[in-house]
Amino acid sequence: MTETNELESLRTRVKLLEAQIRSLGHEPIGTPADPAADNLADNQDRLKLDEYIRYGRQMILPGFGLPCDEAQLSLRNSSILVLGAGGLGCPALMYLAAAGVGKITIVDHDLVEVSNLHRQVLHGVDTVGRPKVESARQAILRINPSVHIVTHHISLTSATLPIVFAPNVHFHAVLDCTDTPSTRYLLSDVTARLGIPLISGGAQRTDGQLIIYNLPPTSPASTDSNNANTNGPADQVTSATDPVNSAGPCMRCIFPSISRTGAGAERCSDVGVLGPVVGVIGVLMALETIKILTGFGADESQLYKPSMLLFTGLSPRPFRNIKLRLRQPNCPGCSMCTLHNYPQNLLVSQFIDDSTSLQDNYDQFCDIGGSRTHDDPVLTGAREGESGARVRASVLKEALVSAAANPSLSIRIIDTRPPTEFGICSIPGSVNVPLPLLLKTPESYVSVSIPTFVVCRLGNDSQVAARALRSIIQAKEGDSQAYLDEEPGSILPVNPRQVVDIIGGLRAWAQEVDQSFPIY
């Protein structure tokens, strides 16, 4: 079928459906009462001819194209924020742009790396080293050049909130595609204050999850048809009884504190992820966003009933749903939020100034990162440790050279990574003792005669392991001051009992010592 014939077929179908509506005693919503306003209505509330062709396959879905292209117009007149242009953000952005969302704001501070390409499908070899937001923008415009894209090459913090949530900007939905707990809580708090639905996804290893926060109290399906909105996302009507507590929960309602051991406590860069898993979750995030923006399928999907979708990639039944509780009356994140129409910029200013809502430091609340000793890229991700308890990778290299030249000297290298990662690459002579095993019986790996270097991938787990080994030595020898007066690098033969860890881990080893060492 040619494009012309297809367009005529779509027009005929629309006319037939509108005739059916009239036969029921209703006038199609969006039909101008004044014939003289036809031209104006065509420009503002009607799709262009090329839009019928582009979006026709989704418009002919029952309930999507009626009345008068309402759902497609809602998408075109919507503005969304996507935080993160990585594994989750890429598929979500692709499908939302392809579906016809009118304005998309992308926030991401990262640059494209080769290690991203197996799962971050908007980026390619030609954009390695470029900001992810610009790479994503370029790819999206190839998919749909009619989308208006705004990019911010920044991290979302309390300081940058006024930039992202500017006075002239209003978002109808926000997608959380990050893996940083502090950013997730900040985004949940501000969207709860603003009353914006927050679609939050996560994926690690072969598992994923999806939650929608800040859902309105009632479904658009329960509203009067005369109140339908053809100029933007589906109206969200408040409850007549308790519009706040009958609304959907925010992130703090479900997770009032950070989990130290659950999925949210780890990043895919640390534990790994299969590319299609983030693809599945990202696509589902796009689907849920379309449903929120248009109200499409709200009755069948129970869109406005809070739940968590869990995906297990290796299961024969990979999907299951868990019902969530409603908004909690004493939640610090949303209990004080009211459903009103104050200007967004005013609400953002109040949010930043309100010390009861905004943590002085979200990183401190989430207990991540800690203070940095410096901005050396080799040490990125490494936390500051005890004085004298940490050495650079070059010191380990010097110790290996000294031990090779002098048979009377020896050292021990403990690698705390999981066996799978140890099998990929390792420093010659190192011994694999996974962190959980070491912490279970640290006394089994203590030596009082051989200096011990502890290494991991990025220099975080190794600190925990080294601290556990030192505590055993101190307990045995009653020396509570051991290692505190040592100078970094004072290894061999000065203190054979010394246990140190490598700052920056194996990534630092690859950058400082052995450029042929694999970085993954």
> What residues are annotated to the active site?
268, 456
DSSP 109-125: -PBP-GGGTTT-TT--G
What is the bridge-based pairing of β-strands 307-312 and 207-213?
Answer: antiparallel
Residue 194 dihedral angles phi and psi, to the nearest 5°: -85, -10
Q: How far apart are CA 383 and CA 368, in angstroms?
A: 9
CA atoms within 13 A on the CB side of 14: 21
Q: Is 452 helix (H, G, I), strand (E, B) or coil?
A: strand
User: What long-range pairs does 223-232 form, CB within 8 A, spacing at least 24?
Assistant: 225/26, 225/29, 228/29, 228/67, 228/70, 229/74, 230/29, 230/30, 230/45, 230/68, 230/70, 230/73, 230/74, 231/44, 231/45, 231/73, 231/77, 232/74, 232/77, 232/78, 232/172
The residue behind tokens 């069948």 is: 300
Residue 224 CB partners (closer than 8 Å, separation 6+): none
With beta carbons less than 8 A apart as the criterion, state whether 187 and 165 touch.
Answer: no
Q: Which helix (H) or strand (E) holds 284?
A: helix 275-294
In the chain, the amino acid numbered 129 is G
Report which residue type is found at 112.
V
SS (H, E, C) 288-353: HHHHHHHCCCHHHHCCCCCEEEEEECCCCCCEEEEECCCCCCCCCCCCCCCCCCCCHHHHHHHHHH
Q: How far apart are the first and last CA of the chain?
A: 49
Q: How far is CA 44 from CA 37, 71, 77, 292, 296, in A?
A: 11, 14, 10, 22, 21
**Which one, of 279, 274, 280, 266, lies nearest residue 86 by Cα?**
279
Contact assessment for residue 165 and residue 79, using Cβ atoms and an 8 Å cutoff: no
DSSP 3-state assignment of 80?
strand
Strand order in the sheet with 198-204: 148-152, 103-107, 79-83, 173-176, 198-204, 207-213, 307-312, 319-323
> Would you call 33 exposed, middle or buried from its count of C-beta atoms within 10 A (0-12, 13-18, 19+)?
exposed
Angle separating helix axes 393-405 and 505-512, nearest 10 degrees = 70
The answer to whether 365 and 359 have CB atoms below 8 angstroms apart is yes
> Strand, coil or helix: what is 103?
strand
Do residues 147 and 141 lie in contact, with contact meaning Cβ atoms separated by under 8 Å?
yes
